[in-house]
Structure 1
Amino acid sequence: MGIQVELRLADERVRALPDPAGGSFDAAGDFDRLLRSGRTGLPLLGGVDPHGELRLGPGDMAQLVDEIDLLLEEATAGPEQRGLMRLRTMAARCAQEVYGQLVFSGD
């Protein structure tokens, strides 16, 4: 299954966000390859545990967007790139929410 990310507002999972590719979505994933162990230059995403959980709040989102932008340069077209664009959309929304959290869950 890999790493999946959800946006939660006041501990409720957001079920529909506007997808950059059209339609809507409720989670982001498919970018596990880019988060390989020992990766430098990614203080937040480098801390994602492929078998655990990581929660990031609104104050982390500017740094997270910067890291996502770096990974987008390496992402392959298709699911990997789409997953990062969804994650970027989630980060932008989380940054606007006082009680927002992005929850990264490994398998």
Structure 2
Amino acid sequence: MGIQVELRLAGERIQRLPDPAGGFFDAAGDFDRLVFHGNPALRLLGRLDPHRETRFGASQMQQLVTDVELLLTLAKASTEHRGLMRLRLMAEHCAEQHGELVFIGD
């Protein structure tokens, strides 16, 4: 299944975010191949545990966006690109609303 990312505010999972491609979404994913290839340039995403939860808070979102921007240059599949765009949007909402992103491993 891979990594799935949820946005949580005050401990509650956000169920509906505007999708950059149109419509709505509630989680991000489909970028596992890019995260787990041992890229030392990924300061936050390189620390993900593929089997457990990893949490990042609002203060870490600027670095997360930097990691996502790097990965967008490596995305080959449209699903990877869509997942990364969703992750970037979630990071922006997280920073603005002082939430946390929870990366859930399989």
Q: Does 1:12 align with 2:34?
A: no
**Structure 1 unmatched runs, 5+:** none
Aligned-residue Cα RMSD (Å) equals 0.9
- The question of 1:75 aligning with 2:81 is answered no
Distance in 1 of aligned mates of 2:23 and 2:53: 27
How far apart are the structure 1 equivalents of 2:55 and 2:36? 19
Task: Could you list the structure 1 runs, at least 4 aligned residues long, displaced by more than 6 angstroms after superposition.
Answer: none
TM-score (norm 2): 0.97
Gapped regions of structure 2 (runs ≥ 5)? none
Q: Is the partner of 2:49 in helix, strand or coil?
A: coil
What is the CA distance between 1:39 and its match in structure 2?
A: 2.1
Query: How far did 1:36 drift?
Result: 1.5
Identity fraction in percent: 63
2:105 paired with 1:106: yes
**For residue 59 of structure 1, what is the aligned residue in structure 2?**
59
Give the count of matched residue pairs. Answer: 106
